[in-house]
Amino acid sequence: MKSLITKNMIIVCVAVITATSCAKKLDLLPQNDLTPATTYSTAEGYKSVLAKIYGGLASTGNTGPAGSSDIQGLDEGSQSPFIRGFFNCEELPTDEAVVAWNDQTIHDFHNLKWSSSDPFLRGMYARPIYNITIGNEYLRESTDEKLSARNITGADADDIRKSRGEVRFLRAFNYWVMLDLFGKSTFITEDDGIGTYLPKEISRTDLFNYIESELKAIDADLAPAKTIEYGRVDQAAAWALLARLYLNAEVYTGTAHYADALNYAQKVIDAGYQLQPEYDKLFMADNDKRKDEFIYAINCDGLYTQSYGNTTFFVHCASGDDHNEYGVSGGWYGYRGTSALANLFPDPTGVTDQRAMFTTSKYGTSASQIAIGDISDFNNGLHVNKYKNIRSDGLPTSDVQNNFADVDFPVFRLSEMYLIYAEAHLRGGGGDAETALDYLNKIRFRAYGQSYGPGDVGKLTSSDLTLQTILDERARELYWEGHRRTDLIRYGLLTTSTYLWPWKGGVASGTGVDSKYNIYPVPASNLTANPNLTQNTGY
C-alpha cells in the first residue's frame, strides 16, 4: 500500500538518538552523520521522520530489505522486524502455527520452552524500544518552541502539531506490545532527553496505566474517525487499542475492565466502519481498498518498504511449490497451521466457511496430510493461504518480480470490535445479549458468503452465546493476525493441560507447560546492559 506515509519512507537516516546512552548501550542504532538541527530544519524533514516512525513497524533499516539495519547484532530479515517478530511471539506458541525450519531457537516458540538468551526475543524487545525512542525524539523536536526557532510556521507548523498525537499513539501501541509480551518494559519518554543515563523499568500495572492515560489524553489531538489519510491513525485507532487493552486488563493488572472494553469497542463500531463483503480480499495486495473495515493497518509496499519481515514474510513462509497461489516468485517451505486450527472449521452442511483459506483441507485431503508427524516436514500440516500478494482487480503488484509484498497488515479491524463487545458482555461488562449476538452473526453472515447457508445453519442463536463460542470465532476470524497467544492466556489455556494441540510443549499429542511461559523473559543482554531492569519470575 501506497499512502504518502509509505512513499516518504525512502528512507530518512534519522539522527534521532545517536547520542543517547541507552541506545548505544543496547546497540540499537547504526551511527550516522545527521543531527537534529539538520534533520528537523524543514517541514519536509519532519514528514520524513514521521514516515520513519510509522515505517518502523514495516521496515527494518534505511536501505530496503538489508543494510543499514536499525538494530545491530541480529539478523535483519528474521530477528529485528516488527511484524515477523510479533507473529512469532503471538502465533508460533499456539495451535495456529508451526515452523519447519530449525533456525537457531525458532522451534522453542511452539515448544513453549524459550529462554532469556533467545535471539528472536532480543530482537522483539529491541524493536518496540527503537520505535519508541524515535517517537520520543520527534516529540522533543516538535514543540512550539522548536518550530518557532526553525521558522516553521503556518500550515506546516499546524500539521506538525497535529502529528504529535499520532506519534504518541504509535508510542503507546509499541508500549502495549511490551506490556503484552514482556509484562514490563524499559521506559523512556520525551522528558528523559539526551545524555548519559540508564533507562528505568516500568512495572506491568504502571505501564498499563501509562498507556491508558496516553490514549485518553490524545483523543482531542487525533483526527476524527475515518477522516485521515489511509495508513495513519485517528481517534478510532486509539479507541480500538483501548478496547483491546481493557479486554486483557485482568491479565495485565489483576483488575477487570470489561465495561470499558465494551464501551470503547462500541465507540469504534458507531464510527461508521463496515464489514467488507468478501473476507479473502482483506488480505490481498490491494487490501488498502478495504479501508471501511480497517481501523488501522501497517502499510507494506513491494517498492517502498522492502523487507523480509513484513507481509512479504507471510506470503513466502507459508508457500512451497504452490507459491504462485500466493503471488510470489518462490516459497520458503516454512510455516503451517495444526490440525487443531483445521478442526475449528467444521463443515457438516456442505456450506464452507470462506475464512478457511487453506491449500490443504481436511475435507478434500487425507487427515494424514494435515497431521504433523514431523515438524520439519513442510509437506504435512495445514497450509495457510490467507495472505496473497495478488490484487483483486487483476492488475500487477508494485514489485514486478514478485519478491516483496504489497499486502498491508491489519492491526485493528471492525470484526475484532464486534468480538470484543460480545466477550466483554459475557464477562460482565454490560451491553446486551441481543446486540452481542447480532454482532457475531454479522461476522458469520460474511463468513458464509453473505448467507447463513441452507436453513440458516450458520446462524448463531442465544444458546450459542458462550465464551467458548467467542474464543473459537476469534480463531476463525483472526487467525494469523497476531491475537491467538493473548486470547489463550486470557482464557487460561496457553500453558495449562486444559487445552492441548499437536506439538504443544514439544510433544506430538501436546502437553501442559510451566505457567512462566505465559510471559516472555527480558533478554539477558538487556539485563547485562542495564542493571535497572529485572527478570520475570522463573527465568
Distance (Å) of CA 240 to CA 36, 234, 314, 387 = 33, 10, 24, 23
Q: What range does the domain containing 194 cover?
A: 40-301+408-529
Residue pLDDT, tens place only, 323-378: 999 999 999 999 999 999 999 998 755 678 999 999 875 444 556 678 999 999 99
Return the closest-CA partner of residue 1 out of 410, 322, 382: 410
Does 537 fall in a domain? no
Rounded-to-10 torsion of CA 453, 457, 458, 464: 170
Angular region, 3: left φ>0, alpha ψ -120 to 50, beta rest: beta
Q: Measure CA of the first residue to CA of the last residue in the chain; give whole Å.
A: 41
Instruction: Say what the pTM is.
Output: 0.95
The pair phi, psi for residue 208, each rounded to 5°, is: -55, -50
Contact at 8 Å (CB) between 341 and 479? yes
Q: Which parts of the chain register pLDDT below 50?
A: 4, 9-33, 362-364
* Nearest to 112, CA basis, from 480, 512, 536, 524: 512
Say how many C-beta atoms besides its own lie within 10 A of residue 447's C-beta. 26
Q: Which three cell numbers stand for residue 239?
A: 479507541
Beta bridge partners of 425: none
Residue 470 parent element (H or E): helix 467-478
How far apart are the C-alpha atoms of 38 and 150, rounded to whole Å? 10
Quick check: is 343 in a domain?
A: no
Kindly report the backbone phi and psi dihedral angles of residue 297, in degrees, each rounded to the nearest multiple of 5, phi listed first.
-130, 145
Residue 31 is assigned to a structural domain of this protein: no
CB 3 within 8 A of CB 24: no
- Assigned domain for 269 exists: yes
- CB of 476 closer than 8 Å to CB of 355: yes
Burial class (CB in 10 A: 0-12, 13-18, 19+), 189: middle
Spell 345-380 as b/e; 16+ CB within 10 A means b: beeeeebebebbbbbbbbeeeeeebbbbeebeebeb
Nearest CA-CA partner of 108 in 479, 387, 521: 521
296, three cell numbers: 488501522
Please say whether the beta carbons of 199 and 530 come within 8 A.
yes
H/E run at residue 297: strand 294-298
Q: Does residue 371 sit within a domain?
A: no
Distance CA(228)–CA(118), nearest Å, equals 39
SS3 label, residue 18? coil
> Does residue 19 sit within a domain?
no
What's the alpha-carbon Rg for the chain, to the nearest Å?
22
Gap between the Cα atoms of 82 and 120, Å rounded: 11
Asked if residue 118 lies in contact with residue 125, where contact means CB atoms within 8 angstroms, the answer is no
Number of Cβ within 10 Å of residue 438's Cβ equals 14
Which H/E stretch holds residue 201? strand 200-202
What is the 3 state secondary structure string of 137-191? HHHHHCCHHHHHHCCCCHHHHHHHHHHHHHHHHHHHHHHHHHHHHHCCEEECCHH
Measured at the CA of 462, the angle between CA 456 and CA 463, to 5 degrees, comes to: 95
Counted domains in the chain? 1
Roughly what angle, to the nearest 10 degrees, separates helices 258-269 and 235-247?
A: 150
Residue type, 303: L
Q: What is the DSSP letter of 436?
A: H
CA 147 to chain centre: 33
Q: Cα separation of 338 and 321, whole Å?
A: 20
Q: Tell me the CATH number at 294.
A: 1.25.40.390
| 3-class secondary-structure state, position 95 | coil
Amino acid (1-letter code) at residue 480: W
The letter for the amino acid at 509 is S
d(CA 384, CA 326): 10
* Residue 14 in domain: no
**Residue 40: closest CA among 130, 132, 147:** 147
Is the residue at 140 inside a domain?
yes
Q: Beta-carbon neighbour count of residue 202 at 10 Å?
A: 19
The secondary structure of residue 329, as a DSSP letter, is S
- Residue 400 CB partners (closer than 8 Å, separation 6+): none
Phi, psi angles (nearest 5°) of residue 155: -60, -35
Cell 442463536 identifies what position?
Answer: 461
pLDDT of residue 19: 31
- Residue of 59, 62, 58, 54 whose CA lies nearest to 15: 62
Q: How many CA atoms lie within 13 A of 207 on its CB side?
A: 25
| CA 386 to the chain's CA centroid | 16
